[in-house]
A and B are shown apart, each in its own frame.
Chain A
Amino acid sequence: MNTYDIIIVGAGPGGSSAARVAAEKGLKTIFFERGRKPGEKNSSGCGLGPRMFRDFPDMMKGLTPEKCPSMRAGSAARCYFINEQDTVAGYLMSRPTESVSYEPAKSWITMNCYRSEFDPWIAEIATNAGAELKNSTLIVNLLKENGKICGVVDEHGEKYKAPIVIGADGAISMVAKQSGLRTKWSQDQITATLQYDFKAPPGKIDDIMGDETLAVWWSATFPASYQVFFNDGFHQGLGNWLNKWEKNPLYYLNKVINLKYYQRLLRILEAEPRELQSHLLPWLEYPYNTHTDGVILIGDAGGFPCPLEAEGIYPAMVTGKIAAEVAADAITSNDVSKNKLSKFDEIWQTTSLGDDFEAGEELYNIWKAMPFSPKETMTWFIPMLMEALGGIYDWSQPHPKRVRQIAAKIKSYMPQALPFMMKYVFPLVAKIFEDDLDDMMNPQKLMTALPKVMEMLPKKKKRRRGT
């Protein structure tokens, strides 16, 4: 029998973060990876935000291009807007704005790197701290004594014993299932996400994309597609909840690739497809059932990806760290009960992750109803937005007439836009600003005011000079 203080199933960023903290606290720690090395089973390239470097400073300063050659940081992001005719109707490039308050975040938005480099690097920090990493090992069950969880069993029947098991084993979590915390996600709690990796010469990426680090392709014919640039390549991917696919997911991803604009981009970047990847990504309103007697779930296994954009690395590392701290305290006080481990929820809820989930339901709802409902929403949203952004570029009419045409067209989208705003936008705004918007949230007041405002828009004009 192999006996430990703490067992961590999974050596992704969450598992390694937990393993490192546990080892530093003097716990005899083991963590398991089913791949030959951490990261080789993972396909969600890291877009690491400044918050990673703010909250894990001593660790992140060690991340260098020598350790992680795919690293690429940048300060610009682009939104492309694709209409129902599969035409790029416009795009918007933006940089950090004047309201950004954290100094480093003024000069870059994300640092991107491949998981095949990032995950081994962070696992090494944990092993350097004294944690034992067992690669190429699939954990197939929890070890139980008198109904109490007391360790894990690997695929060869080898047993490992510890009073606490951390489930860091991803979307389809054996630990969640065998501990009774969750049998399966429901179809509206998890997304199927797939992506191509393209290789491209670093010089081409720099010349053509400048310091752009990511792009989102918002579309009326496929769910929003993300593009993330690394040193010598990029990901193009998309996802949607399991119950929202009308056709095979690859059909939609190929629609992105087959945009005329995209084909041109591939040509000038001299890009070639290099890998096809697919994974499940939990995306829910609020994490629940995160712990029970002797078990804590972290990262994707616990449903922690950010409710706005489903980024999962940072939430996994935050929850991993907290889980290890709570576990260490529980072990010291010889109490690993569910009640004792509820400290885990209490603590993560006070972090920036907890702040994000405070508006989790509203973020989740609007996101699901908008970029991930291309047919229902984006078919009117994109032309409406493009009227506002680009409608003025028409030199066939007098400009005032053109403005009236644009206003009339925008007004014509209001039967779709107003109910959407009522249902999704105002609840989110109200959630974020809390009490300040009570009046705005009063549907009666709103409904009496809005039509009047809309009525005022395109009216028959008065002539400035006498008739």
Chain B
Amino acid sequence: MEIQRDGLTKHVPGTGDFIKIDQSKCNGCGLCAKICIVNLWGIKDNVAFIRDDYKENCLECGNCYQVCEPGAIDFSYPAGGTGVVYEQG
């Protein structure tokens, strides 16, 4: 059985950009893609990219930021009062 992720996360819009990747620092290791629970990262031409719709899907755990050894991923939190909401956290 595969649990469908749709509907299992809730988000308040208006986050602004809160994850940035410095592609010149990225070594293409792919750890960000491996660790992201909601699969927001991909690797193209040996460089990581984040999905355009990440703001509506990100769980704000910071796994990608924490796992990135070369420090290519800059993570801050979304604007106050926006982003993921846990009702049963």
Q: Report A's interface with B, CB cutoff 8 A.
A: 34-36, 39-45, 70, 114-116, 135-138, 140, 154-155, 171-172, 174, 184-185, 187, 190, 192, 194, 196-197, 199, 230, 233, 242, 245, 247-250, 254, 257-258, 263, 273-280
Contact = CB atoms under 8 A, between A and B. Distances in A.
A34 B80 contact: yes
A290 to B, nearest CB: 20
A34 to B, nearest CB: 5
B5 A276 contact: yes
A34 B80 CA distance: 5
B46 to A, nearest CB: 20
A196 B49 CA distance: 27
Contact of B84 (A41, A44, A197): A41
B38 to A, nearest CB: 8
A116 B84 CA distance: 13
Contacts of B69: 187
A242 B86 contact: no
Contacts of A192: 35, 61, 63, 66-67
A278 B81 contact: no
Nearest to B65: A172
B86 A275 contact: yes
Given A136-B80, A172-B65, A278-B59, A273 B89 contact: no
Nearest to B84: A41
A277 B61 CA distance: 9
A-B complex: 5 closest residue pairs judged by Cβ atoms: A136-B81, A43-B89, A278-B61, A197-B88, A136-B80
A258 B1 contact: yes
B2 to A, nearest CB: 7
Given A34-B78, A136-B80, A154-B80, 13 more contacts: A34-B81, A35-B80, A41-B60, A45-B88, A114-B88, A184-B71, A194-B37, A248-B34, A257-B3, A274-B8, A275-B8, A276-B9, A280-B66
A250 B10 CA distance: 18
Contacts of A258: 1
Identify whether the interface residues of B are mostly helix, strand, loop, or mixed: loop
B37 A248 contact: yes
A385 to B, nearest CB: 28
B79 to A, nearest CB: 6
Interface in B38-61: 38-39, 59-61
28 contacts: A35-B80, A35-B85, A39-B86, A41-B86, A43-B86, A114-B89, A116-B86, A138-B76, A138-B78, A138-B79, A138-B80, A171-B62, A184-B65, A196-B3, A197-B89, A199-B88, A242-B63, A242-B67, A248-B34, A248-B36, A257-B3, A263-B1, A273-B3, A275-B89, A276-B8, A278-B37, A278-B61, A280-B61
A40 B80 contact: no
Contacts of A278: 37-38, 59, 61, 63
Nearest to A247: B34
Q: Which of B62, B76, B78, B79 has the most chain A CB atoms closer than 10 A to its own CB?
A: B62
B1 A233 contact: no
Nearest to A32: B80
Contacts of A250: 37
B1 A280 contact: no
Nearest to B83: A41
Contact of A280 (B63, B71, B84, B88): B63
Contacts of B36: 248
Contacts of B63: 192, 242, 249, 278, 280
Contacts of A185: 66
Contacts of A43: 86, 89
A277 B3 contact: no
Q: Which of A34, A171, A185, A274 has the most chain B CB atoms closer than 10 A to its own CB?
A: A34
B12 interface: yes
A171 to B, nearest CB: 7
A172 B66 CA distance: 8
A277 B5 CA distance: 11
Given A273-B3, A275-B8, A135 B81 contact: yes
